[in-house]
Amino acid sequence: MSGGLVDAYDLVVFDLDGVVYLIDRPIPGAAEAVERLRDGGVAVAYATNNASRRAADVAALLTGMGVPAKPDEVLTSAGAAAALLAQRLAPGSPVLVVGAEALRAEVRDAGLTVVETFEDKPAAVVQGYGPDVGWKVLAEAALAVRAGATWVATNTDRTLPSPRGPLPGNGSLVAVLRTALDRDPDIVVGKPEPALFTTAATLSGAEHPLTVGDRLDTDIEGANNAGTDSLLVLTGVSGPADLLAAEPERRPTYVAADLAGLFVPAEEVRIPGADTTSLGGWKVTVAGSTVTLDGAGSAVDALRLLCPHTWAGASPEAGSDEAREVLAAWG
């Protein structure tokens, strides 16, 4: 891996959905990328906001896809939420779980009691993604929170990536309770909070980790909150138009089409400064509030070149047929 981006880092923390796989299908090149990291002696961790699987289940899923993983390399928002509740509540305290069986199992293993209704007087409500979550359990959760139960959300991802397109995520289900209760959760555990990233670094003893994600609002913002560099890959939720409009807290260090970006020189994926006016066959001209893209080359190079200018407030427009095609493809 000599000369590659990853050479500067001692740990790579991967998001899963949209980076390594889409629901249950591996993303092309993901297994090879992880194997290459391991062969090069770079530590690997997986941090996911998806609370519908336990760490061992995630590791087994990855391994079955040809992506080598061990349970102790996987950090889930379900496990982190259960650990947080165990710290805050007395052993055996009743907790109403809104989510999948994996979240219930994590709560039980943390020494707490899973309950089903408001009448069970839960001390806390913990809410994570579950494909079978419906009105009945959301109603019980709303009643419990109104009565004073602590409301913990594993994450607030609005969508989940899938081969068919984005699907409603836990954030969409949290929004149901937020609307009904006219308030936010007391605690959000997963990304963009920094806990999953800092825990991964602590467990591996890493001093210079790199986060790889597909979402600006969770993976990249979470990496920035944790003080780590980040690589945005364009295989999941956030696309070029999202990146061009990203707020400062959601701007990555690097951007690449996919995980192959880990192994090219850092300068081939780094987002340059605003003084850069040409890159990979492209050039830009800034006039007032407009930045004009001319030339031809790879779409990712065009994206890298435009980012610092759109982040400064300029609107992109095309100055060549190739630029027009790229901008149109980005919507």
Q: Hey, which residues are catalytic here?
A: 15, 17
Query: Is 126 in contact with 173 (CB distance < 8 Å)?
Result: no
Sign of CA dihedral 79, 83, 84, 86: positive
Which residues, at least 6 apart from 314, have a Cβ–Cβ distance to it below 8 Å?
Answer: 286, 289, 290, 291
Cα 176 to Cα 154, 172, 179, 183, distances in angstroms: 15, 7, 5, 11
Rounded Cα distance between 296 and 111, Å, is: 59
Strand 209-213, strand 11-14: pairing = parallel
Q: What is the DSSP letter of 1?
A: -
Where would I find the H helices in the chain? 30-39, 55-64, 77-88, 101-109, 135-146, 170-181, 195-204, 221-226, 240-244, 299-311, 321-329
Rounded Cα distance between 24 and 65, Å, is: 8
CA angle 164, 55, 155 (to 5 degrees): 60
